[in-house]
Structure 1
Amino acid sequence: MSNQEVKIIGGGLAGCEAALLLADAGLKVRLYEQKPVHFSPAHKKDGLAELVCSNSLKADRLDSGSGLLKAEMKLLGSHLLPAAEKARVAAGGALAVDRDEFSGLVTAAVEAHPNITLCREEVTVIDENELTLIASGPLTEGALAEEITRLTGQESLSFFDAAAPIVAADSLNMEKIFAASRYGRGTADYLNCPFDKAGYEEFYEALVNAERAELHEGDTINVYEGCMPVEIMAKRGMDTLRYGPLRPVGLVNPATGHRPWANIQLRSENKENSLYNLVGFQTNLKFGEQKRVFSMIPGLENAEFVRYGVMHRNSFLCSPKVLGGNLALKEHPNVFFAGQITGVEGYMESAAAGLIAAHNILRRLAGKTELMLPAETMCGALMRHVTTENADFQPMGSNMGILPPLENHIRDKRQRYLALAERGVAAMEQALAEA
């Protein structure tokens, strides 16, 4: 395959994962990344695989949807998971990373690979006769978006995604904040800001009445449920946040000896623990309103906000109509897609799609049939979601609910999920052995 060349558009997680796997297999890869020539509304750094929302890659334990996904990605040959492990920061049972270190490790791996040529330029034309993988992400815009529309014959769907604010650790009032993990499990990796009933109700009223930033796309927008702005979620009812991102279960405030009425958790953004993310506080409030309202959170009275929350448009294909099971366009089989533009939701899900697309490119070049992963695997279930006809197609992240049920039902949830995960890993191992 040394004479074969693949063009990859997009230096995010999906594009980098695919580029490294294809290059290791001996293909020549031209990886196109538009930064720093052009930045999307969410991207700020020059590095590849930039994390623009949370720095969490979700749960690491096997008995979870994201944990199973990671186990399968290791079997598929992931390069990004080892980088994430090196850049890991404390986050309880989750795999969270120092985003700058993670990006730096991935960028270095791509730049050092002899089979990868990194092209820092925008792509405005797609040659459907050229072997191409489009992993341009959910913020694809301009001429490239028009080219994708030309090839797919339909307008991309879109929704709005939101990111949470980040505060400086040395500006927090630690007399009101306590470090703890839920139910005392594991290490105390999260900082907790406990509300009493009166404080929460005052905060709630300020939040639901705060002024939001204008969106240029008009009022008729779809907000993805997984990244619901906290102010929109709050308007569903006074207790919605208390049963959502502010749930206090499994926590005891050492100052009172009781469970807080509501609780906000802060998660470290870097290894130095100098920056913290407000977990679950994706928002589209105006910056001044964020400062005013979020300073009402116990311990954040004088917080320095090093990044305010933002909201931006995300786009994705109506993949079931246009993509085959190998993630190539049905009408243009040389053009593959991967990442969030296909309708998978999440960092690791995007990287997994890059791996699967890369494996299918290799199989295409070797004259083999497409890689059809079993429905019992998380990767297989996600691929079926994005390639099976669905009248109301929406993005999907890894979760145990999309897997086929066990033949023998297990009532205990934790044991049931572990059994589903073990079945998924075994199914992946067998599928790859037979491929």
Structure 2
Amino acid sequence: MTDRLHIVGGGMAGSEAAWQAAEQGIDVVIHEMRPTVGTFAHQTGNLAEMVCSNSFRSDDDEQNAVGLLHWEMRAAGGLIMSAADAHRLPAGGALAVDRDPFAETVTARLHAHPRVSVTAEEVTELPRDGHWIFATGPLTSPALGAAIQAETGAEALAFFDAIAPIVYAETIDMSRAWMQSRYDKGETEEERTAYLNCPMDRDQYEAFIDALLAADKTEFHEGETATYFDGCLPIEVMAERGRETLRHGPMKPVGLTNPHQPDVKPHAVVQLRRDNALGTLYNIVGFQTKMKYGAQTAVFKTIPGLEEASFARLGGIHRNTFLNSPTLLDAQMRLKSRPNIRFAGQITGVEGYVESAAMGLLAGRLAAAEIQGRNLPEVPQDSAMGALIHHITGGAEAKTFQPMNVNFGLFRPVDGLKGGRRGRKDRYKAYTDRAKEAWSAWLTEVENG
């Protein structure tokens, strides 16, 4: 049927796109190659499987751009946010989820939807007929990547993405570690103790940096240059940028007091965040790495409290490809040379689970409207959704285009507010107030149109 929507890729973006289109009355087929064809990072055949962090980052919808994006997705009936809320874990002001039940819920709800079908097959070409959304994410298969490259006539841009390790909680020495969220942030005791902390003194930190720098790392193929996204740098790359870099990044010691030595301020702190509802697994926050497995075990066991740690998963690194979207996509997220094809998710040049799902939400709604012969009003640029889609489809400079998280720097200035540090809180609140009003108005117009 020509009015059926085909979605390639069942990750965050593809799952959300399918849900949104189906809810608009469109029959949807999800083409997900897993588990028939596996990837480096995925471990199951579930839709929306989380392969890196289990965090959707800040849930503050008044002072944080990603929290605002959460709000907008909830307002639009987003499947990903609904499943995340259902499997939320304590994480202070962040939204962290129990990754396996989360993916299982997304999978079950899509399989149960009367307008959605899922087929386990690899799509390797760009179809010329029908309505398609490609949401294949950072691990687009080589065959499909070659087809996209052949169609666009440009070399695929690429950077490298790293995965953080996960530790069995029972193997962490709690006589050295303690539970506390930074600045005791959270409304409940569970939230205020959402993170597990391992302190280091100066000598331990310096020895750790030395070990990181000396460790065996994954080598790249000859002629291959590693370009990293700054929001997901391997820790050893950060260490190479300066010995204090980690102390001002994921290992910063501020806002924490060690109850085992309350009068001694740690020189650095390694934080771990709960990775499942049972509290049996913890991931090491910000510790993405390209170290080889043996080196990871040796280096991470130098961290106080992790000397006897066992790892449920070690870190890793993989290639991540994305389109030069400002050049290749139109304002409707369609491939200019093949307007029957939309792209969504990380392959468009957004970074992060939430941003990927948000672009899936828009792609699903835009495709559904097109199939039904409806013209949706332009997504308001003052919303978080609008700021992102504007950035990737023309707002960014094509020559320097790199993956981008949602942030207030993508928003148009708010008139009448002074810049600088003093006005930041008021400015961010003004951004979110304006965005919520614009997004709510857009949803109302779409639903009544």
| TM-score, scaled relative to structure 2 | 0.94
Question: Corresponding residue for 2:158?
Answer: 158
Q: Once the two structures are superposed, what CA deviation does each residue of 1:363-398 show, in whole Å capped at 9, x if it has no partner?
A: 222334455222221111111111115221001111
Question: Corresponding residue for 1:422?
Answer: 433
Contact 1:13 1:351 in 2 (8 A): yes
How far apart, CA to CA, are the structure 2 residues paired with 1:116 and 1:369?
Answer: 23
Distance 1:217 1:21, change over 3 A: farther
Contact 1:249 1:259 in 2 (8 A): no
Question: Corresponding residue for 1:396?
Answer: 404
Deviation at residue 65 of structure 1 after TM alignment: 1.2
> Residues 118-157 of structure 1: matches in 2 within 5 Å?
118-157=118-157
Deviation at residue 218 of structure 1 after TM alignment: 4.2
Deviation at residue 208 of structure 1 after TM alignment: 1.3
Question: Corresponding residue for 1:413?
Answer: 424
Question: Corresponding residue for 2:330?
Answer: 324
Aligned length: 434
Q: Once the two structures are superposed, what CA deviation does each residue of 1:245-279 show, in whole Å capped at 9, x if it has no partner?
A: 11111111222224311111000000001010000
Contact 1:6 1:30 in 2 (8 A): yes
Question: Corresponding residue for 1:8?
Answer: 7
Moved more, 368-377 or 163-172: 368-377
* Partner AA of 1:156 in structure 2: A
Q: Once the two structures are superposed, what CA deviation does each residue of 1:373-430 show, in whole Å capped at 9, x if it has no partner?
A: 2222111111111111522100111112211222122524333322211111111112
Deviation at residue 64 of structure 1 after TM alignment: 0.6
Q: Once the two structures are superposed, what CA deviation does each residue of 1:75-95 show, in whole Å capped at 9, x if it has no partner?
A: 233111111111111111111
Deviation at residue 219 of structure 1 after TM alignment: 4.7
The yes-or-no answer on 1:288 pairing with 2:299 is no
Contact 1:242 1:262 in 2 (8 A): yes
Structure 2 segments unaligned to the other structure (5+ residues): 187-191
How far apart, CA to CA, are the structure 1 residues paired with 2:82 and 2:29?
Answer: 23
How far apart, CA to CA, are the structure 2 residues paired with 1:150 and 1:231?
Answer: 35
Moved more, 367-376 or 310-319: 367-376
Contact 1:325 1:370 in 2 (8 A): no
Contact 1:167 1:307 in 2 (8 A): yes
How far apart, CA to CA, are the structure 1 residues paired with 2:426 and 2:261?
Answer: 35
Query: Partner of 1:158: helix, strand, or coil?
Result: strand
* Partner AA of 1:83 in structure 2: A
1:265 paired residue among 246, 261, 271? 271
Distance 1:265 1:236, change over 3 A: same
How far apart, CA to CA, are the structure 1 residues paired with 2:216 and 2:224?
Answer: 15
Question: Corresponding residue for 2:445?
Answer: 434
The yes-or-no answer on 1:311 pairing with 2:326 is no
How far apart, CA to CA, are the structure 1 residues paired with 2:137 and 2:185?
Answer: 36
Moved more, 146-155 or 197-206: 146-155
Question: Corresponding residue for 2:47?
Answer: 48
How far apart, CA to CA, are the structure 1 residues paired with 2:111 and 2:185?
Answer: 40
Distance 1:217 1:69, change over 3 A: farther
Distance 1:219 1:364, change over 3 A: closer
How far apart, CA to CA, are the structure 1 residues paired with 2:267 and 2:409?
Answer: 30
The percent identity for this pair of structures is 46
Query: Partner of 1:31: helix, strand, or coil?
Result: strand
Question: Corresponding residue for 1:377?
Answer: 383
Distance 1:375 1:11, change over 3 A: same
How far apart, CA to CA, are the structure 1 residues paired with 2:128 and 2:378?
Answer: 24
Distance 1:32 1:217, change over 3 A: farther
How far apart, CA to CA, are the structure 1 residues paired with 2:329 and 2:119?
Answer: 27
Contact 2:157 2:324 in 1 (8 A): yes
How far apart, CA to CA, are the structure 2 residues paired with 1:6 and 1:136?
Answer: 15
Distance 1:220 1:422, change over 3 A: same
Moved more, 337-346 or 138-147: 138-147
Moved more, 221-230 or 136-145: 136-145
| TM-score, scaled relative to structure 1 | 0.96
> Residues 3-402 of structure 1: matches in 2 within 5 Å?
4-62=3-61, 63-186=63-186, 187-216=192-221, 218-257=223-262, 258-369=264-375, 371-388=377-394, 389-402=397-410
Query: Partner of 2:74: helix, strand, or coil?
Result: helix
How far apart, CA to CA, are the structure 2 residues paired with 1:110 and 1:194?
Answer: 43
Contact 2:72 2:436 in 1 (8 A): yes
Deviation at residue 217 of structure 1 after TM alignment: 5.9
Query: Partner of 1:391: helix, strand, or coil?
Result: helix
How far apart, CA to CA, are the structure 2 residues paired with 1:326 and 1:116?
Answer: 23
Query: Partner of 2:122: helix, strand, or coil?
Result: coil
Q: Once the two structures are superposed, what CA deviation does each residue of 1:269-301 show, in whole Å capped at 9, x if it has no partner?
A: 000010100000000001111111111111000
* Partner AA of 1:285 in structure 2: M
- Report the RMSD for the aligned CA atoms in angstroms: 1.5
Query: Partner of 2:283: helix, strand, or coil?
Result: strand
Contact 1:363 1:371 in 2 (8 A): no
Query: Partner of 2:137: helix, strand, or coil?
Result: coil
Contact 2:87 2:97 in 1 (8 A): yes
